[in-house]
Amino acid sequence: MVDDPKITERDGKKFCTLPNGNQVEIEDEIINNPNWVNVEDAVKIIRVGDRQIRNLADKNSWDKKYAYINKKPVAYYLKSQLENFQRSRITDVLTSSAVHEPESKPQENPNPEKTVGQNLITQHALEDIDSVVKKLQPYIGDFLETYKKNQERIIALEDKRTSAEKSAVLWKTSAIWIAVLGVVAGGSWFKLSQTNSLLFQSNSNLSEKYESTQSELYSTKLSLTQTQHELDMIKQQQNNSSPTTNSVTH
């Protein structure tokens, strides 16, 4: 790896230049370190795309190291940071759901501006939620993925409903023009029927002629085949009689 032109050495350490021009240290020992995961494993933990993983890493300043694999730098992330981030996401969702009250049942509160967010739930309850989240961790990713797909389906159905409404308005607006075109088409239908009848008759005649020609061609081909067979037999008889003739001459 030292001979690779993309690798440089300084103070006994190896460095590689990223596509953006930044130089990073290469630490191949993290490849087999269970505390560090690559982008593919990070996607499985957080259940988002690889590009979102990179964006979240930059946004949250996650620890990152690089290994040199197949002549290119590969990023590795600290596994514990990803798991903590995933747990915090689920905790926020559950907390947000727990503090929602129906609008039809307002309660008196002397200081409403302070009764939002986590102020409406005790620290003990938060700890219980976090404990439940940890137990459900293996299944939370699938739940979020299913929720995301359902949301996408809802959006798609809304788009289809909007398109259907626009199509209905368009059809209503153009109903008069359709009726006019129907009258014009009805006036031309008789002539079109006659033309179709003539075309059908012509096509039938052509089909009959084609079948007749095919039959004659087949008969001719069969006759030629028989003639060729007879010629071959004559040639064979001549070839068989040639040695006899030669022997008589001698």
Residue 110 covered by a domain? no
pLDDT score at 174: 73
- What pLDDT does residue 188 have? 67
For 81, counting Cβ atoms within 10 Å of its Cβ (0-12 exposed, 13-18 middle, 19+ buried), the class is middle
| Domain-embedded: residue 214 | yes
| 169 in any annotated domain | no
Query: What per-residue confidence (pLDDT) applies to 142?
Result: 64
Residue 52 lies in a domain: yes
Measured at the CA of 77, the angle between CA 19 and CA 84, to 5 degrees, comes to 140
In a domain, 179, yes or no: yes
pLDDT in tens, the chain (250 residues): 445 657 888 888 999 988 888 889 999 999 999 999 999 999 999 888 889 999 999 999 999 999 999 888 999 999 999 999 988 888 777 766 555 545 555 555 555 444 444 455 566 666 667 666 666 666 666 666 676 677 677 777 877 877 787 777 777 677 777 776 776 666 666 666 777 677 777 767 777 777 777 777 777 778 788 888 888 888 888 787 765 555 555 5
At which of 40, 62, 82 does a domain end? 82
Structure confidence at residue 83 (pLDDT)? 93
What pLDDT, on the 0 to 100 scale, is given for residue 107? 54
Would you state the pLDDT for residue 115? 45
Is position 155 within any domain?
A: no
Q: Is residue 124 part of a domain?
A: no
The token pair that represents 227 in the structure block? 């003639």
Domain membership of residue 66 (yes or no) is: yes
Query: Beta-carbon neighbour count of residue 37 at 10 Å?
Result: 20
**pLDDT score, position 206:** 75
Q: Please identify, among 27, 53, 82, the residue that sits at the C-terminal boundary of a domain.
A: 82
pLDDT of residue 113: 45
**pLDDT given at position 111:** 52
Instruction: Report in angstroms the alpha-carbon separations of 144 from 16, 46, 60, 136, 238.
Output: 37, 9, 21, 12, 91
Helical packing angle, 123-173 and 39-46, nearest 10°: 90
Rounded-to-integer distance, Cα 97 and Cα 115, Å: 15
* CB contact at 8 A, 73 and 80: no
Interatomic CA distance for residues 103 and 136, integer angstroms: 30
Domain count, the chain: 2
Give 57: exposed, middle or buried? Use CB within 10 Å, 0-12, 13-18, 19+: buried
Domain hosting 30: range is 7-82
In angstroms, the CA 45 to CA 56 distance is 13
CA distance 230 to 245: 22
Q: Which of 82, 111, 144 is the last residue of a domain?
A: 82
